[in-house]
Structure 1
Amino acid sequence: MPFPILDAAAAAVALLLALSIDRWWGEPPAALHPVVWMGRALGACGARVAPAQATGRDLWSFWLAAIAWCALAAIVLVVFGVLQWTAVAHLPAWGAALALGLLLKPLLAWRMLRREVLAVEAALGESLEVGRARLAWLVSRDVRQLDEAQVRESAIESLAENLSDSVVAPLFWFVLLGLPGAALYRFANTADAMWGYPDMRGGRYWQWAGKWAARADDALSWLPARLTALLLWLAARGGVRWGALRALARATPSPNGGWPMGAMALALGVRLSKPGVYVLNAAGRAARAEDTRRAVDLASRSIAALIPLLLAALLLIAIVRRHV
């Protein structure tokens, strides 16, 4: 049996299995969750690489954090590379697919994202204060002064951005580089979430210490973010105008976040904003309660559109390997 075809078949089954596990069972316990382990390692290192007060041009913190990031990334690559090699080399095809699916699942999180976004809307139904409190579980911004529409906007923005970060990107890198690729992406994204800040956070100053983590995540998220925007365009049946989307994508500080968020704003016809930072689709109406459900439905349909694209990519990669 040609090895590349077997490899592609195992990867395809693993991908479908991981999505099925996510749909029916969600996240594994924290004690068994590799992203939780990554976060703990980053937290321990972050307390040592970032200074406790603002500094000027701090190349020492920059390079110290860069070396720490690379060391942790190397550990992630080795661990998941060994796990993948062990599964493929020592298990039958069905066993390898099962093992890879189980290992891939914690590296993506659609069910949890969907649940948290809908929980914000349910909390808003109780009161604005309860909605703000629930939103604080989902986003890192200050929620204390947000009105009802802004709370809802923030939840929808988080849904769009994390559709890329927590679903599309891990699966994209899994298809290209296998389990180590998906794990490296989740590490980079977690590092950016914990270290990639322009100022003080958690009692540490990240302007220089967080630059490497932020740029690494930008690089690894560049293609998946645009792919997510394309998927939302497909889910909206062409309701997103690409010229308008390119303009919106440039309005955000992130080179990537504006693509899925802008696509979601245009697909829903609503305004999305981060007060004092950016406004996406300023001509759109204020988001209403039903827009949260519509946003979740668009994201679900985007994932459904993603699956055949990834399976086709696996088949194409197998064909290219056979003829190289």
Structure 2
Amino acid sequence: MGSLGGSPMIRRRAAVLGVVAVVDLALGELPNRWHPVALLGRAAAYLDRLLTAEGQRDTATRGVLLTATAAGLAAGAALGVARGARGRGAAGFLLQALALKQTLSIRALFDHAGRVAARLEAGDLAGARAAAAMMVSRRTDDLPPGLVASAAIESLAENLSDSVVAPAWWYLAAGLPGAAAYRAVNTLDAMVGYRSRGRFGMVPARLDDVLNWVPARLTAASLVLARPLPAVRQVSRLVRDAWSTPSPNAGWPMAAMAHILGVRLEKLEHHVLHAAGREPVAADIRRAQRAGALALAATALAGATACWRAGE
């Protein structure tokens, strides 16, 4: 039996991820006041104001400086935690798991979607719009029920990749610093990665595209595995829909979710995914939650199997 030099490390990281998933599902998120990602966001906002003060242009050079500083600080802090955990046995294992927990979010993602579904089920459209506004950047205050449900399902699908699969992928590939740097770039993309920010926002946006390229497609594949028949029958349309969104990555998990559920997902004046599908309702948000849970389970099982075989 052969052995890869890094296989014990990979197996340990896989075990850490398993503990992180249990902790996340049991405890959820820290309050924003103390959450490292929220603290990073506030620090990045300060740097943004400093770099783009009145009279200073939003240049790509400044975007590189912001991105490198934020990602470097996050990776450096994570490296310090990883080194502090090394050689400390169970205590070090737990310390690394608690640090990694701050880079991904499972329970909160499903809870947010569940709140939108609950409000729609209760006939509280205003409440559903408000709950959806917590998940997406688009305006929701005038959306009809079908587009509110669509927004929740799209956000759930996209964030399965951004908030779960991607940080897990980068942790397996590059350890705690890799997961922390990814989360920093993803946070910057959400903060400044808009066309209105020009070349300044383009830097974290394009880097986020690169870092999410593999995780987005892994997430889409996992969703298809959760309910393969509807998606396999329309694989060419699924791929076409995946490329129809402005983002090179977000369309993949969203299109996969639209096709496995058989629903039309739409963002007004931006994209329509699975145009032949029916309008989504609250029950489809619940179905999306179940499909997402199955997809994550399939991804975890495949990852655990690959890590185990790496040492054979």
Correspondent of 1:301 among 294, 301, 307: 294
In the TM superposition, what is the alpha-carbon distance from 1:50 to its structure 2 partner?
3.9
In the TM superposition, what is the alpha-carbon distance from 1:243 to its structure 2 partner?
1.7
Judge which range, 123-132 or 221-230, deviates more. 123-132
Q: Does 1:33 align with 2:30?
A: no
Q: Is the 8 A contact 1:13 1:97 kept in 2?
A: no
Q: Does 1:106 align with 2:97?
A: no
Instruction: Return structure 1 stretches of 4+ with deviation > 6 angstroms.
Output: none
In the TM superposition, what is the alpha-carbon distance from 1:240 to its structure 2 partner?
1.2
Counterpart position of 1:225: 216
Kindly tell me: are residues 107 and 127 of structure 1, through their superposed partners in 2, closer, same or farther at Cα, counting changes over 3 Å? same
What are the within-5 Å matches in structure 2 for residues 215-294 of structure 1?
Answer: 215-241=206-232, 242-294=235-287
Question: Pairwise CA RMSD of aligned residues?
Answer: 2.0
Counterpart position of 1:120: 116
Counterpart position of 2:76: 78
Secondary structure at 1:209 match in 2:
helix
Distance 2:52 2:229 in 1: 45
Judge which range, 109-118 or 28-37, deviates more. 28-37
Q: Is the 8 A contact 1:173 1:182 kept in 2?
A: yes
Judge which range, 115-124 or 237-246, deviates more. 237-246
| Runs of at least 5 residues in structure 2 that lack an aligned partner in the other structure | none
Distance 1:208 1:6 in 2: 42
In the TM superposition, what is the alpha-carbon distance from 1:312 to its structure 2 partner?
3.0
What are the within-5 Å matches in structure 2 for residues 1-324 of structure 1?
Answer: 4-50=6-52, 61-88=59-86, 90-92=87-89, 94-124=90-120, 125-199=122-196, 206-241=197-232, 242-315=235-308
| Runs of at least 5 residues in structure 1 that lack an aligned partner in the other structure | 200-205, 320-324
In the TM superposition, what is the alpha-carbon distance from 1:36 to its structure 2 partner?
1.0
Distance 2:168 2:299 in 1: 9
Kindly tell me: are residues 316 and 180 of structure 1, through their superposed partners in 2, closer, same or farther at Cα, counting changes over 3 Å? farther
Q: Is the 8 A contact 2:145 2:281 kept in 1?
A: no
Secondary structure at 1:264 match in 2:
helix
Distance 2:259 2:147 in 1: 17
Kindly tell me: are residues 146 and 15 of structure 1, through their superposed partners in 2, closer, same or farther at Cα, counting changes over 3 Å? same
Kindly tell me: are residues 46 and 271 of structure 1, through their superposed partners in 2, closer, same or farther at Cα, counting changes over 3 Å? same
Kindly tell me: are residues 83 and 138 of structure 1, through their superposed partners in 2, closer, same or farther at Cα, counting changes over 3 Å? same
Distance 1:314 1:139 in 2: 35
Distance 2:60 2:195 in 1: 13
- Give a deviation string over 1:161-217, Cα, whole Å, max 9, x none: 001001111111111111111111111111100010112xxxxxx122201010010
**How many correspondences in the alignment?**
306
Distance 1:225 1:238 in 2: 20
Distance 1:318 1:82 in 2: 28
Secondary structure at 1:276 match in 2:
coil
